[in-house]
Amino acid sequence: MTAAGPSRRARRNEILKELGLTPLWHVRASGEDSAAQVDSSEHVVSHPAGAAEERRSKILRMGWDELKTSVEGCVACPLCQSRSRTVFGVGDKNADWLCVGEGPGAEEDAKGEPFVGPSGKLLDNMLAAINLRRGRDVYITNIVKCRPPGNRNPSPDEAGQCSPYLERQIQLIKPKLIIALGKVATQNLLHTDAAIASLRGRLHDHSGIPVIVTYHPAYLLRTLVDKAKVWEDLCFARSIMQGLGPSG
């Protein structure tokens, strides 16, 4: 075992202790009875009754630095076991615009930044079409901060464990408008199973913040014909933002 291994575990344990998430989940060794358990700080944290709400409450009191550190050490769901890096978010922390996708892909997992590679370039082009650019008056993040294996959609439990982090990001940014990119982001922000097609072109709400729904850039790379629909959505978003007036 390298020297970095124990150090990383110690850091995770310290973060978990501060969040009130200990004791850690235990894995019973094969062939042993339930009394014989193996402590494994590299595994997922159990959530006894009341612990989930306590964890959420603590996360919702964090500032930016503490929140990012907490995400980096999070072991609240199985996604922590296969990630290379957490993907916290990128952009203007006082942005009027917030873009929310579903989760990191392989390139995002390697670089630690959301929306890189072909889908990231397309998102940057989408933003440029409404006079925005990455890092200026827009913040970009995802529903989950760790890559789901095989780029599958995050499960409801995985999204649920990550939701306090996104909730706190939204509270800190105070965006005037949220753009939900794709089905997973839309379902989690709006708590609906409705199809994107039925939700486009209308204004929705998340915690008092207007939400506009559109297709995910990765979907557009596979379905070029729907790019025109996204342009319509972006024009709609721009008109809504103009109606909201200047920042206070």
Q: Average pLDDT for residues 236-246, to the nearest whole number?
A: 89
The pLDDT of residue 41 is above 90:
no
* Distance (Å, whole) CA 1 – CA 9: 12
Instruction: Please report, to the nearest 10 degrees, the dihedral formed by the alpha carbons of residues 220, 166, 15, 9 taken in order.
Output: -10
Q: Can you spell out the DSSP letters for 102-126? A: S---HHHHHHT-SS-HHHHHHHHHH
Q: Which of 24-28, 83-87, 168-172, 177-181 has the lowest mean pLDDT?
A: 24-28
Residue 212 pLDDT class (50, 70, 90 cuts):
very high
Instruction: Answer whether 71's CB lies under 8 Å from 108's CB.
Output: no
Sheet holding 177-181, edge to edge: 90-91, 138-142, 97-101, 177-181, 209-214, 204-206
Read off the pLDDT of residues 91-144 as tens digits, 9 standing for 90 and up: 999 999 999 999 999 999 999 999 998 999 999 999 999 999 998 899 999 999
Strand, helix or coil for residue 85: coil
**Between 204 and 3, residue with greater pLDDT:** 204
The pLDDT of residue 198 is above 90:
yes
Sketch out the chain's domains with CATH numbers.
1-76 (no CATH), 84-248 (3.40.470.10)
Ramachandran region, residue 245 (left: φ > 0; alpha: ψ -120 to 50; beta: rest) = left
Residue 187 pLDDT class (50, 70, 90 cuts):
very high
Q: Which of 9-18, 114-123, 190-199, 205-214 has the lowest mean pLDDT?
A: 9-18
Predicted pLDDT of residue 190:
97
Q: Taking the model in full, what pTM does it have? A: 0.80
The pLDDT of residue 23 is above 70:
no
pLDDT, mean over the chain: 85
Read off the pLDDT of residues 45-69 as tens digits, 9 standing for 90 and up: 555 658 889 999 999 999 999 999 9
Tokens 């999070």, residue located:
74
